[in-house]
Amino acid sequence: MKTKTKPLFLKYFFFSLFVSIPILLLFSFQSLRRKTTDPPPGNQPSGDLRIRPGYTSYEAYLQLQLNKTLNPKLRKIWTTRDWDRKINVFAQFFQDLKQKQLLKNESKALCIGARVGQEVEALRRVGVADSVGIDLVPYPPLVLKGDFHNQPFKNDTFDFEFSNVFDHALYPDKFVGEIERTLRPGGVCVLHVALSRRSDKYSANDLYSVRPLTEMFGRSEVVHVRTVDGFGLDTEVVFRKKKLIGRS
Ligand SMILES: *[C@@H]1O[C@H](CO)[C@@H](O)[C@H](O)[C@H]1NC(C)=O
Ligand SMILES: *[C@@H]1O[C@H](CO)[C@@H](O)[C@H](O)[C@H]1NC(C)=O
Ligand SMILES: *[C@@H]1O[C@H](CO)[C@@H](O)[C@H](O)[C@H]1NC(C)=O
């Protein structure tokens, strides 16, 4: 009897090991995978575009954006030390777009989220005289007051729109919808975005590929996507609003 129970016990022991080890391995592998791929708690994943958590309301969002835009120290830097340096970099980008026939001296141009308007000044310097910017806080005469979630312009107004603040949009679909609404058919939108690095605490979204953009720009086609070095932003995405057939 004794000699028989021992192997039987061992048999059960080895059998349970045989069954449980793969299960344990599977679980530990899954928890490892979860750790490396899941977004932080509270983050709402939406493909390659994620809205940052922590904005309790649109008012709270505006308050935070205004805190940066109205910061007197930052405004001083933007209008003094940064002024010419930034205008020169923007002017290079715009010259390049002119060479590619995406921007003309005669274009009516808008810069979205322009703060003190260095990009607007750059457009004017390269010959695009009819240029203006919008931001929550105006900086006349270059920048008018306006929220990019609800542009203060009529449909089909601009030939060209530029923005490097896509990451500040709390409602990216509204940001894009307003661009497509105010661009004329055939008009060009140039966005500078960060794909490979995360931007500052004032950002409201994180973008991990251009796909969410191409999906949202439903009334436009992609002209080009290229790498740029634009104040921490690494990618230029250019869209052209489609011309409607059979409508004016
Ligand atoms: C904005 O700044 C004001 C005072 O400078 C402060 O009271 C307020 O809490 C700040 N708001 C946010 C959202 O940081
Ligand atoms: C556009 O304007 C710039 C600056 O005023 C000028 O140098 C350039 O010749 C103009 N280009 C065309 C095609 O008119
Ligand atoms: C402006 O465009 C939006 C959509 O892009 C459309 O819903 C609206 O009817 C247009 N308004 C006018 C006055 O045409």
**Looking at residue 201, what is its pLDDT?**
81
Task: Pick the residue whose CA is nearest to atom 7 on ligand 3.
Answer: 181
* Range 49-241: architecture per CATH: 3-Layer(aba) Sandwich (3.40)
**Residue from 99, 105, 128, 130 whose mutation best tests the ligand 2 pocket (most atoms within 8 A of CB):** 105
Task: Pick the residue whose CA is nearest to atom 13 on ligand 2.
Answer: 105
Rounded distance from Cα 55 to ligand 3 centre (Å): 29
Confidence label for 9 from pLDDT (cuts 50, 70 and 90): low
- Our measurement of the distance from residue 73's CA atom to the centroid of its chain's CA atoms, rounded to an integer in Å, reads 25
CB 204 within 8 A of CB 68: no
How far is Cα 135 from Cα 148, in angstroms, rounded to an integer? 7
**Looking at residue 56, what is its pLDDT?**
87
**Residue from 63, 66, 70, 75 whose mutation best tests the ligand 1 pocket (most atoms within 8 A of CB):** 63
Beta strands 220-230 and 233-241, pairing class: antiparallel
How far is Cα 159 from Cα 117, in angstroms, rounded to an integer? 18
**Looking at residue 202, what is its pLDDT?**
86
Ligand nearest to the CA of 68: 1
State the closest ligand 2 atom to the C-alpha of 126, by its place in the atom list counted from 1. 4
Confidence label for 88 from pLDDT (cuts 50, 70 and 90): very high
Cα–Cα distances in angstroms (integers) from residue 64 to residues 54, 67, 167, in the given order: 11, 5, 14
Rounded distance from Cα 128 to ligand 2 centre (Å): 8
How far is Cα 150 from Cα 81, in angstroms, rounded to an integer? 32
**Looking at residue 31, what is its pLDDT?**
42
Rounded distance from Cα 64 to ligand 1 centre (Å): 7
Confidence label for 1 from pLDDT (cuts 50, 70 and 90): very low
**Is pLDDT larger for residue 19 or for residue 239?**
239
Written as one letter, the residue type at 201 is: K
Rounded distance from Cα 124 to ligand 2 centre (Å): 10
Cβ atoms < 10 Å from Cβ of 218: 11
Handedness of CA 106, 109, 114, 116 (dihedral sign): positive
**Looking at residue 35, what is its pLDDT?**
37
Model pLDDT for residues 99-143, shown as the tens digit of each residue = 999 999 999 999 999 999 999 999 999 999 999 999 999 999 999
Task: Pick the residue whose CA is nearest to atom 9 on ligand 3.
Answer: 155
Closest CA to 49 of 221, 204, 230, 239: 204
Average pLDDT over residues 216-245: 94
N- to C-terminal Cα distance for the chain?
A: 98
Task: Pick the residue whose CA is nearest to atom 5 on ligand 2.
Answer: 127
Task: Pick the residue whose CA is nearest to atom 11 on ligand 3.
Answer: 155
Average pLDDT over residues 168-194: 97
Task: Pick the residue whose CA is nearest to atom 12 on ligand 3.
Answer: 155
